[in-house]
A = this chain, B = another copy of it.
Amino acid sequence: MNATLASLTNHQVRLAARPVGLPQAGDWQHTTEPVAAPVEGGLLVKTLMLSLDPAMRGWMNEGKSYIPPVGIGDVMRAGGIGVVIASNHPNFAVGDTVSGSLGVQEYATFQADQAKRAGIVKIDLRVGSASQWLNVLGMPGMTAYFGLLDVGQPRVGDTVVVSGAAGAVGQTVGQLAKIKGCRVVGIAGGPAKCRWVVDELGFDACIDYKAGSVKEGLKTHCPDGVDVYFDNVGGEILDAVLARLKRKARIVICGAISQYNTTAPVQGPKNYLSLLVNRARMEGMVVFDYADRYHVAVAEMGAYLRDGRMKSREDVVEGGVAAFPDTLLKLFAGENFGKLVLKVADA
C-alpha cells in the first residue's frame, strides 16, 4: 500500500446494542480506524454508496434466521457499490467498480477469500448506473424478479397486488408483472407515491393505505379477487388481501416491514384460513437462494432499463456513513420514495 492509502481514515458505524423496537442512537457506535492494507490476494474498496434495506432490522436481532445476526461491536452489514483503490487480487484491478457486502464504512478491506464471501463482483456501468445496481439490478431487483416469477408464478391476465409499491422491491415487482401481461394494483402510503406508480410506472391502480381502507380499495380495484400477492409489509394489509384471494392464489412472503420494529408479538394473519377456502398458498423466499441465476435476471432487466420498459427510482441521501442511523429510520417511517441509498463518496 502506498503512503497516500496508509494515511486514510476509515469512518465506520458499528452495532453497539440490539435494538428494542426502532433502533435508537445508543444502539450505534461511530468509530474510526486506519485503513487496513490488502495483503496477498486481498482488495481495498472505497465505498461510494450504500443500500438501506428493511431486512437490516432483522440482521440486528439475535437468533436464528436466514443469515447470522450482526455481532455486537461489528461494523453494520450493508450492501454497497464501491471502487477498487488497491488490489492484490487477480480478478480485480484499481478503478474497477464493484458491488457486494461492504458494510457501513468508508473503506472495506478484504483479505484472501473474504471478497468472495462478501459477494464482491465487478459491475458494468453501461448496463445501469451505480444506484441502479443497488436497485433494479441489485438485491431488490433480484428479489422482485425471482419472488414474482419463481414463487408467484403469474400468468397473463392475472391480477397481481404488491405492497410497498413505491419501495425498491415493489416498484420492480409491479413493472415486471405489467411486462408479463398482468393487471397490477399497488398499495403505498400517500398520494405522491400512488400517483407515481400509476402515472410513471404504469400500474393499473394504487391504493393509498394512509387515506382509507385497504379492504375497500381492494374491493374496488380487484373486483374479481387477487391471483398473486407480493407481500412486503405483513400486518393488517396482509389480512386485507387474504380476504380477497381468488382460487389457487399465490402469496409471496418477501418481508413484513410493519412488524420489524414492533415490541408486541408479530401479528399473525388471522385470515389465513382463506388459504384453505381458496386452495391458495403462501410461500416465503430469500433472494440469496437464486444467486446462480442473478446473471439471467440482470440481463433481462438491464434490457428493460435500456428500452425504457422498466424505470427505476432511487432516493439518494447525502451525508456519508454518519448519516446511516437516521437514514435507516426514514425507511421504517415509510418516508423513502423509491430505493433508499446513502451516498458515501464521489467516484
A residues with a Cβ closer than 8 A to B are 64-66, 234, 239, 253-256, 259, 265-286, 289
Contact = CB atoms under 8 A, between A and B. Distances in A.
A272 B272 contact: yes
Nearest to A245: B284
25 contacts: A64-B277, A66-B276, A66-B277, A239-B268, A253-B272, A253-B273, A253-B276, A254-B276, A267-B268, A267-B270, A268-B270, A268-B271, A268-B272, A269-B269, A272-B282, A273-B284, A276-B284, A276-B285, A278-B284, A279-B283, A279-B289, A280-B283, A280-B284, A281-B282, A282-B282
A266 B273 contact: yes
Lowest 9 A-B CB distances belong to which pairs?
Answer: A268-B268, A276-B284, A275-B284, A281-B283, A268-B270, A268-B269, A266-B270, A253-B276, A282-B282
A200 B263 CA distance: 46
A234 B66 CA distance: 25
A278 B283 CA distance: 9
A66 B280 CA distance: 12
A296 to B, nearest CB: 19
A281 B285 CA distance: 9
A276 to B, nearest CB: 3
Given A277-B286, A278-B284, A279-B284, 18 more contacts: A65-B277, A66-B277, A239-B268, A253-B272, A253-B276, A256-B273, A259-B273, A266-B270, A268-B268, A272-B282, A275-B282, A276-B285, A277-B284, A280-B284, A281-B283, A281-B284, A282-B282, A282-B283
A241 to B, nearest CB: 13
Contacts of A279: 283-286, 289
Contacts of A284: 273-281
A264 to B, nearest CB: 10
Contacts of A272: 253, 266, 268-269, 272, 282
Contacts of A270: 265-268
Contacts of A266: 270-273
A239 B276 CA distance: 17
A254 B275 CA distance: 10
Contacts of A234: 273
Contacts of A267: 268, 270
Which of A65, A267, A273, A284 has most B Cβ within 10 Å? A284
A272 B281 CA distance: 12
A241 B58 CA distance: 21
A250 to B, nearest CB: 9
A148 B163 CA distance: 32
